[in-house]
Amino acid sequence: MGIGNFGNMMKIMNAWNTFKQNHPKFPAFCNAVSKRGIREGSILEVTYISPEGEKLTTNIKVLPSDIELLREISGGN
């Protein structure tokens, strides 16, 4: 790992720590979901609400390829 990569990693870690302090419920939510395991057929839903009240929502039904992608991203088996 070069010095530039280490610097980028530190910036990301600092940003993540700030995010966790600002939004403590989100990491707790992610941990709760992770403990239960994301399984095929589960529904993941995301809602965006603008300051003006505009609401956009989407969802996905989890497929085996989605689970594999999450394993790759997390470095899991």
Per-residue pLDDT of 10-55, as tens digits, reads 999 999 999 999 999 999 999 999 899 899 999 999 999 999 999 9
- The pLDDT score that the predictor gives to residue 3 is 65
Predicted pLDDT at 21: 97
Structure confidence at residue 74 (pLDDT): 82
Q: Are residues 23 and 45 in the same domain?
A: no
Q: Same domain, yes or no, for 42 and 31?
A: no
Q: What's the domain range around 58?
A: 38-77
pLDDT given at position 77: 62
What is the distance, to the nearest Å, from the Cα of residue 65 to the centroid of all Cα atoms in its chain? 17
- The reply to whether 31 and 1 lie within a common domain is yes
- CA torsion sign for 57, 32, 27, 70 is negative
Handedness of CA 67, 69, 73, 76 (dihedral sign): positive
Q: What is the pLDDT of residue 42?
A: 96
60 and 27 part of one domain: no
Looking at the fold, whether 2 and 19 belong to one and the same domain comes out as yes
Best CA proximity match to 48, nearest among 40, 57, 37: 57
- Do 44 and 58 fall into the same domain? yes
Answer for the pair 65, 38: CB distance below 8 angstroms, yes or no: no
Q: Is 1's pLDDT higher than 60? A: no
For residues 43 and 77, state if they share a domain. Answer: yes
